[in-house]
Structure 1
Amino acid sequence: MIYDVVVVGGGPSGTTAAEDLARSGHTVAMIDRAGRIKPCGGAVPPRLIQDFFIPDDQIVAKISTARMISPTQRSVDIPIENGYVGMVDREHFDEFLRVRAKEAGAHRYTGTFQRIERDTDGTHVVFRDKISGNEQRLSCKLIIGADGARSNVAKAEVPGGDKIPYVIAYHEIIEAPGPTGTYDPKRCDVIYDGEISPDFYGWVFPHGKSASVGMGTGVDGVDLKEATAALRDASGLADCPTIRKEGAPIPLKPLDRWDNGKDVVLAGDAAGVVAPSSGEGIYYAMVGGRVAATAAAATLASGRVQDLMLARKMFMKEHKQVFRVLGAMQNAYYRSDERRERFVSLCHDIDVQKLTFEAYMNKKLVKARPMAHIKIGIKNLAHLTRLVSPMRT
């Protein structure tokens, strides 16, 4: 058969695209490399849970507080008012999404993408079947590349797809104890310390019966496992049994183009849609899958390949400003421990706390408090120009 769309990748982005297209009546195939679990803190905002109908049994923990920790071990606890941050375990969450896409009507194939072929009969996706080891070929009209930060689809098909900047993330999933050391099963800890990561951050995120402890960096030569071991030790988690260890790239900037002008559009990490500064990717991946599905459906209906450009246009219309602000924050504060110290000081401000988490929960910049924005801007400028001490709040 000739599928309307073949989706390469079965993470949150690919599964969302496959499910949306299948539910709208299109014939869809989804190729997934089963067994791969992406290193991820697992945080999902309420808007994701609502927009994508995530059942409560997929939420392994509900976080009520975020703690920011500076290089000198000063900390500030930010309460999450009027809601919570949900935590998912990617091992189970991704499989839940794959099963849901299949139940919606998508055909699921397990294997590894090899290449795209085109001939007089049309476009074909070639993959190596996991069980047989043989190459198989799926014919289709369009392709959605949702195969991660170092996407082979993007490298082969989309200009700039081989040059996306990224950090390497590494984490260890451990058996979580009750409250011990500095660990609190209802609090996410974000560690801004050059000894852990010289250009990003470390994290300790509860997952109910387990926890994710890890860090990310784009600096060559950093020993990720050694840094994570130090983080576990500092958190009182060194002796907890390790369940699994995972590492993978996380993109830092959306690509300037997401389609090849013919029959391919990118989604999720393949398109670079991970939020700067926070590294948050699950929500943006699922939104990326949804807009890719929308663009593919529009192209199939109209026959105009330029409609593939709708995916990036729709995503950036809603999220470009947030990405720009977060990118500026990362560039301003992640470059040295002195800057990180100032960033944590800024987080003591109540307006910063409220506006930050309102934006996180709702996925848009808050415009309802102009005076709060002005005050934050003045404090931000004072810290960046060193007019105030980083020890002051």
Structure 2
Amino acid sequence: MPPALPSFPFLTDHALHPSPQLTEARTGHAPVRVQPPYGAPAWLVTRYEDARFVLSSPLFGRDHERAGIPADRISRVTPLEVTSETFASQDPPDHTRLRRFVFRTFTPSRVEALRPSTRRIADRLVDDMIEQGPPLDLFERFGLALPVQVICDLLGVPRSDRALFTSWSDELLDSTGSTEQAAASVVEMNAYLAEQAAQRRRHPTDDLIGALVRARIEGDHLTDDEVKNLLRILLGAGHETTASQIPNFVFLLLSGDGYARLAAEPDLIGTAVEELLRYVPLLTQGSLTRFVLTDIEIGGVLLRAGDQVLVELAAANRDAAAFDDPESMDLARKDNPHIAFGHGLHRCVGAALARMEMQVALATLTSRLPGLRLAQPADQIQWHFDRFVRRPKELLVTW
């Protein structure tokens, strides 16, 4: 009887560093066989160049039907694939068509236009923090509140409905929940977004939902189903991961001299965010599953057509073959081609939004609260771990 495969993801007691098992796998160079909690075994890729290759090569697909893999056999770490039935689970040409609409409507200029309003939101949140006084939970009062308000402003979601998005996103991304709960959240969210799209067709608006509904490329347009699926991706990218990374970044900066340095050198905010993205794993479980479409060798291992691959972004971003002194955090690092948001066709469409929010968050906190510090010993902070994100359960701060 063959030995049992190692369980994946490799969780660690150290809050914001990759598991030693990932380092061991990367230094071994070759992909390793692992067993996620759901679906079939998969190959785990950990080296930087291998990761970029798998994420960008047409020899690896995202469409499980094209690869001949039943839905219940998809290797995954959550009860449901968070992006099932969306363009993130499609290959060209369907993926190419939908991505054109995203790039045409969710443009860098649209994101950059949100920066002033994002600053105002961040300033209001800090005003509220100062009014309440310390100690308080930075995750709840700032880290969670900022991205929820920004993504809802972008989409045009009424303020009265914003709590719905928080609960849906939490249930979809919480791998400890049941498949039934996740499925129910998908149904509720789909119904809501479909209705929002239908309203924009009747009464056009200038928000992102309205822009997606109105978009026309060579006479083609998006269906309401396509609009709602694109919006689900943006909601997922624009809420839970960003909300988790803001307190993660602040914790790490406050644990050393990084926070004081950014308060004194605000011009470093841009490069600091990129380094924090490289250094702090965005996800606990790597990338979305890829399906091998033809036999191919990686690192001396033959992957067969029909095999599945998970790319561990956190390990790739600590690869000494790609980064000088990768285990050290250098807030002024210039050459930083990290792949925290993925790579290739399926690179996160919300990357520009998340990057802008994180820049504004750190700039606002360090300028308004330069004396911010932890309100409890770092080793007493309790951490929330699931198979998608990691963050402090609460991050008590004072100033």
Fold conserved between structures, TM > 0.5:
no
From the two aligned structures, give the one with the greater helix fraction.
Answer: 2
From the two aligned structures, give the one with the greater strand fraction.
Answer: 1
Higher relative contact order (CA 8 A, sep 6+): 2
Bin the TM-score by the shorter chain. Answer: under 0.3
Q: TM-score, normalised by structure 1?
A: 0.23
Q: TM-score, normalised by structure 2?
A: 0.22
